Amino acid sequence: MKTILTVLLVAILAGETHAQSLPGGFVYLRDIDPTIIQDIRYATSNNFVGRPLSGYRAGECVVKREVGMRLKAVQQELASQNLSLKMFDCYRPARASLDMVAWSQNGRETTAERRYNPKIPKTELFRLGYIASRSQHSTGAALDLTLVDLKADNSAKFDPSNAYADCTAPVGARPPEGSVDMGTGYDCTDVKGHTAAPSITPEQRAWRKRLVAAMGRQGFVNYSKEWWHFSLPGAGGAAYDFPIQPRRN
229 marked ligand binding residue? yes
Residue 177 known to be catalytic: no
Helices (H) and strands (E) in the chain, counts: 6, 7
CA distance 188 to 123: 15
| Residue (of 197, 163, 203) closest to 181 by Cα position | 203
Catalytic residue among 60, 77, 177, 226: 226
Q: What angle do CA 229, 235, 236 make, to 5 degrees?
A: 80
Distances (CA, A) of 31 to 18, 40, 109, 123: 11, 16, 39, 38
Q: What angle do CA 225, 228, 230 make, to 5 degrees?
A: 85
The three-class DSSP label of residue 99 is: helix
194 marked ligand binding residue? no
137 marked ligand binding residue? yes
| Residue list for the binding site | 137, 144, 229
| Residue list for the binding site for Zn(2+) | 137, 144, 229
- Would you name the residues annotated as active-site residues? 226
